[in-house]
Every structure is written in structure tokens, then in C-alpha cells.
Structure 1
Amino acid sequence: KFVSFPAGPEFRTTGTLSIDVSSEMDDFDGKFFVYRYLNGKLTKVDFTLDSEEELVKIKTKQLGRFVLTNKEITDSVVDPNFGSNGESSNGGSEQNPDTGANDFVAIAAAMAIIASAGILLSRKRK
């Protein structure tokens, strides 16, 4: 599940972000991992799961892009071999083993961008 606040607002005080996971509870078997995607890195986020209300609750000062999954992601960088300009940062001489986790992270990043574009398009139509 992807939840995106593209502007990534930051607040002075900590608040609680509640995310409805009622449709994921059965599929995820009540097992959740929550990550924030920021500056090309995926960081694991502490959260509480309210099983009764079927909500994941995150205490944070900053919103952004969040990924909720039932599997732990061990890679924290979208693609460590490429810099922000798209060129290989290590000359292409060293290859990381393919664990499949980068595929998921890339999909998460792409979905977040697509969601952002959809929000912008809907705002322009009004």
C-alpha cells in the first residue's frame, strides 16, 4: 500500500498519521512493515497497529511518501549504483547481487510519482 503526501510538509510538533489498513489486514495476515521514501532512500518507520480499528498509526513531524508492506525490505537505497544524474557512481565495475528488493522499491517509487502526478492533474482540472 502506498500513501503519498508529495509536498512532504514538516511540522513543529509530532502528530499521529493514521492509515486505514482494513483491506490489507487479511492479505497481510496482520503483519506490517512501514517505510518512508525520502531523498532516494527507504527508511523503516516505527508504528503501532490498532487491530480493532484496523489502523496503522505513525508518530511523525514530517509527511511524505509511505510504503506499507507485509515483507521486510532490507535494501535502503533505490539504486546504489546510480547517482542523481543517472550515471554510474562506481564506473560500472562492481555489481550488487540481485535480491529482488530493488524491484519492489523501484515500483514503490514509481507508484508514488504516479500518485503525485494524478493529484496535480486533478487539481488543474478544477
Structure 2
Amino acid sequence: MMQMNGYHRYAQARLIDPGLSREAVEATMWFTERHWGVVLQRRNPAAYAWRILRATVTAACFDAADQLSDHLHRTLPADHADAALLHRLGLPVEQAATLMGIEPPKARADLLMAQRLLRVGPMEAYRTCP
């Protein structure tokens, strides 16, 4: 149940439009259920389902009425943006990690990198030394 609520909150935060976010989550659930045998063969089914959700929501962004939505995902690498968004939604790191199908230390690292990148800007953070 936490998964579905977390999926809906994530999609709603990225898409703004409640109907579009519901469609994105339903499409994710449909795909996951339809390919359940493949999902279960994955090393980490939760992470696989999360990647399906992320891709579905990202695709739905093209149909979003608010073209200024989804700022984090247009600014940061996807893993960092996901961690930052779930943090902004009030999920503790452990819950966010479970939702994304990753270990808490990875979620913590992604969140810290997102915070760093947002402070200094992605291009500056990844700049190489001359």
C-alpha cells in the first residue's frame, strides 16, 4: 500500500495534473502486472518497478499542462532528483529507499549529491579541473 501511495505522490509532484499522474501510475501498474514474471526475475523487482514508474512519468511530462513542472528532473540526474523529490515530499530516507528499491546509503548519497548540485549548479559540480 505504501508503494501505491508513494507512487501517486511522486507522479503528482512531477506532473502536477492529478488525472495525468493517476494515468502514469496506472500505466506503470498495468505494465508491471502484465510482465510480472519478468519483474520477478530481476535482481531487484522494486527497483525495476521504480524505473518503469520514472520512465512513465517522464514520458507523461510531455503532456503536462504545466511545462514548468518537474524542475528537479530537468536540472539533476534522475537518481538524485528522485531522492530530492521524495525528501521534499516528507519521506524519510529509509522509506524513500524502499520505494525506489535501493539501499538507504544509496538514497542518502543521492540526496546529498542533489543538495550539493542544487547549491552550486550541476555544471559547476561536474566541472573538471584544467
Specify if TM > 0.5: no
TM-score tier (shorter): under 0.3
Q: Provide the TM-score with structure 1 as the length reference.
A: 0.23
Higher relative contact order (CA 8 A, sep 6+): 1
- Structure with the higher helix share, 1 or 2: 2
